[in-house]
Structure 1
Amino acid sequence: MNTPLPRSLDPAPGELLPGYLLRLSHRIGISPGDLAHRCGLIQGNRLPTQPLVRLDADQAQQIATVCRLETTEVHGLTLTSQDPGYSPLGATYLGQRQSPMDMANSGWVFTAFSRYCPDCLTDTVDLPGGPVWQGSWRLPHIFICPRHNRHLSWRCPAWGAPAFSNGYQADGRWRPSQLAPGLRLRLHPAQCRHRPAGGWDAACGARLDCTPAAFTPPTTAAAQPQHKPSSGWPQPPLPAPKATSRASGSRPPPNSFSTTSALRSWRSAPPGLPPPTSSPPSSTWARSLPTPKPCVEAPSNASDRRAMGGWPDPSTIRLLIHGNAPP
């Protein structure tokens, strides 16, 4: 299905393909799975994680056609394009030729979940389609947000589930990871997509773009190890207070990012489809969900977690994800 969508969005600087799929599908009112199918990313009934790392030429071309993007923009949604200096994501690593599947399964990138900064999600929540999920949050050595001087979060504040993940099975093993969890769920990109009971049960739905009342900022000594490897990673500036539509065909000026210049707010319809009569007002770009509930802290003890759905304790989770190292 290579028919271009009637409308699309510009990728934000540093945005990763899974987050872009969530943002665009939410904006045009379809599920992420439907959009991924149009883009040729579905294999069987799964959405594999390899495109997180790298896209081949045919995949990139189909995504570009469907989403009305340039192929360079599509490749920019992958980790190898965003951080070419990160050796484990290179085509050749330790003398061995790597496929995208090898890189996705090597453990040098988080494919089963994503860290996140609640403040960054809040800063971009009113952009068309919702907030931006950064590619840098998927790398193990990125654990501090330099803009907001805080440690990145990695769990839902309501259930304690790893963010942007399918969660765990009852025996503590990861459920099969996908590029975007909850393919049929039409949720806001800032909502937790974890299904506590698995299957087709309702998703958690808790908002991740909320900041706890108090948190301890990282020390200078803690931030120093991250500084060098992440110094070249693009950091998106704060968006403009209000989003306005931009005429189709105009291109954003180089090295700029705002809701009026860097977002491809509705492009013109393809031949044979009538163009939109007017761009939606900025108020319609806000969340289509009820007012978010206050942040809910994750259960503090193992018995509470078991009562809420059999969630493993934090030491088990850390061991599964990081080995013996803290998150």
Structure 2
Amino acid sequence: MKSLFTNLFLMSLAFGVSSCSSSSDEVNSQEAVEVVTEELAEEATNDNVFYQMPTPNELFAVLKNSDAPFNKEILNDVSNSGNYLTKFSKALNFGVFIADLAYATSQGSFEDAASLFEAIQSLSKDLEIENAIDQIIFERLKENLENANADSLFYLSNETYYSAFSYLEENDRQDVLGMIAVGGWIEGLNIILNLEPYSEDSEICQRIADQKLTLENLLIFVSDIENDKLTDLVSDLSVIEEIFNEESENSNDESTETEVVNSTNEDGVMVFGGGNSVSLSNSQFDQLKSTVMDLRTSIIEGN
């Protein structure tokens, strides 16, 4: 049986697929997803643990309701892919490029998506995980790029991310898995922090606030991996966690438990998430934007 982490990662993948797919190919996937998520939700509840580890695609699904324009300048330059010489920098930036891919496909930027696919394929070979992303996936990606099929590309970029995670876990390469997870999460958060100015009631700011729970679970996962480089990353992530926690310390809400709560979003899709709503202040937004940008810069520069 797959680990709870993988099961719940697959669950979040399913949510991303069902919320953004529209083609006939994805209809069949969604039907299968409904069966899988029911089984995995039961497993998660029975274990009394809930890890909310969404793919970058789930993070960017919010953009379909946003007027924020596509910002190519915020992507990591694909020419940097040849500058990463260590396993650590390659794995972190594999995650970065996956997040960039999710953002580009969510906005229908096909030219950027094509370049990002090449960078991801190159790094997958360097990391010896090319078997995780088989040729069939790349052929489907190429076909959908040629046909300018944004919905299918968004789905396939999600599938690429999960395939890498599943392969690494099955082959007991938790260190690389953790590095990719951190790189992808930091890049996704950096992108969404730079989409629009702070607005307390905006859906994007709420999505940023929700990353507090995601970070908590990411820290739990990464902290269990014995790797000096990841230990240093945990320290960096803990600084971000402190910024998120500022609101909690000043809040009158005494609840500290996170429950598995099922709800239905506006598209009629079942969503599994934390029961406690999280808010974000202007000060936190500014601190997060600066701190995350600094860490992200260090990552893409290969430091």
Instruction: Give the TM-score normalised by the residue count of structure 2.
Output: 0.30
Larger radius of gyration: 1
Name the one with the larger helix percent: 2
Instruction: Give the TM-score normalised by the residue count of structure 1.
Output: 0.28
